[in-house]
Structure 1
Amino acid sequence: MGNEKKTRILEAAQSVFLRFGFRRTTMGDIASAAGVSRPALYLLFCNKEELFEAVLQAHVARTLEEIRQGLAAHPTPEEKLRFAFELWAVRPFGLLAASREVGEPIHAGLAFAKEAIDQAIAAFEADLVTILAPLSATAPARALPPEQIARVLTRAVHGFKESATSPEELRTMIDGLLEMVLASLRPVPNAGA
């Protein structure tokens, strides 16, 4: 029963954070949405920051699992990368864009969640390396290693999210970036001639 209750609380908290933003959300709001008392909520999570981190970690775990499960359905590295970024960046961008409070949770000092955010990015980058590694094996000698490419991709897409005005615009930016990266990894025809 404890895991079911915790899952229900995390799902309710994610919904409330999306609706009201981090700052305006109270533990009472989350307890009410989850159908538990505030004391019961505090038994599982000491404060709102800890609860937000748990929501973030649960969301990342679900997203990474969905990406890993779905990669097999995409035969080319380009399709795999587009799929991964669709789930990792475009889908949450669209979800957050639907909220009036979208800017606040993204930009409001979430320094307390930095470690969880860094771990999430590192896990996603590791998945990108897995996709990129076969391309790197046949890439020109001047090509960056897959770990560096993965880091550049995640940081660039983070910047894209800051300036994109819609999921479609974000998707277009990501597509352009991926085309440039993939072009740099293609073997040069007649390179030895």
Structure 2
Amino acid sequence: MDSKRAHIIRSAQRLFLKHGYLKVSMSDIAEELEISRPTLYKSFANKEAVLDGLLSLHAEECRAEVRARLPKARTLTKKLQTIFDIWVIEPFAMAIGNENGRDLMLNGSTYYPAVFERTYQLIQDELQSVIDGEVDSKSLIPTKDLSQLLSLSVKGLKASAQTEEDLRRLVKGLIVMTTAVIEKR
């Protein structure tokens, strides 16, 4: 992503966290950046496109972090924990203390489902790539289904967790169940 678009996205992110996604307009973003609205619209067609850019930038950063940290994880448990830390727990920890961040994290899929579903698909793909290397053809659940179940499960875990500690505990349980299913073969 080019630096101009990334700068716009980071400014918009600050506004979303300060005022709430629904209350921020393209005019607000342009004003924050001290640019004209037509200049902003040359980079992003609308606020949904800015949000899409924010999630794309986040996904790039998460994938880079997975590439850096996953080789150090030697067991399936540690590999799954690494992916959940990067894609779920660390973003949750950043958002949970901010009312507007929590709103965007928990309700963003209601505002713009396609944008958020793409993020969960990326999580599912990361999980499947790890699980594929651990499961043989005698698995109780196909790896695609298992990774989809895990990706869908974290949505509910994030929605129900009140604290980072709650989420860590719930994710740990999910990992224990997953490894039990895989190792039961």
Whether TM exceeds 0.5 here: the answer is: yes
3-state SS in 1 of match to 2:11: helix
Does 2:49 match 1:50? yes
Does 2:168 match 1:150? no
2:89/2:164 contact within 8 Å kept? yes
157, 161, 164: which one aligns with 1:160: 157
CA shift for structure 1 position 26:
2.1
* Equivalences, count: 185
Residues 110-146 of structure 1 show CA distances to partners (whole Å, capped at 9, x for unaligned) of 55632232222222212111111122128xx352111
Q: CA RMSD in A?
A: 2.2
After alignment, is 70-79 or 32-41 more displaced? 32-41
Structure 2 residue runs of 5 or longer lacking an equivalent are none
After alignment, is 163-172 or 114-123 more displaced? 114-123
2:108/2:116 contact within 8 Å kept? no
Residues 28-82 of structure 1 show CA distances to partners (whole Å, capped at 9, x for unaligned) of 3322333433331122112212211111122122212211332101111110110
Query: After the TM superposition, which parts of structure 1 deviate over 4 Å for at least 4 consecutive aligned residues?
Result: 107-112
Residues 138-165 of structure 1 show CA distances to partners (whole Å, capped at 9, x for unaligned) of 8xx3521111111111111110111100
Instruction: Give the letter for the 1:169 counterpart.
Output: D
Alignment of 1:46-125 (within 5 A): 46-108=45-107, 110-111=109-110, 113-125=112-124
Against the structure 1 CA distance between its residues 135 and 4, is the aligned structure 2 distance closer, same or farther, given a 3 Å change threshold? Answer: closer
2:27/2:37 contact within 8 Å kept? yes
Against the structure 1 CA distance between its residues 3 and 149, is the aligned structure 2 distance closer, same or farther, given a 3 Å change threshold? Answer: same
CA shift for structure 1 position 99:
1.2
After alignment, is 14-23 or 175-184 more displaced? 14-23
1:53/1:113 contact within 8 Å kept? no
- Over alpha carbons, which structure has the higher Rg? 1
CA shift for structure 1 position 170:
0.2
After alignment, is 151-160 or 109-118 more displaced? 109-118
1:49/1:112 contact within 8 Å kept? no
160, 166, 172: which one aligns with 1:175: 172
> What TM-score results when the alignment is normalised by the length of structure 2?
0.88
> What TM-score results when the alignment is normalised by the length of structure 1?
0.85
CA shift for structure 1 position 102:
3.2
After alignment, is 148-157 or 93-102 more displaced? 93-102
Q: Percent identity?
A: 26
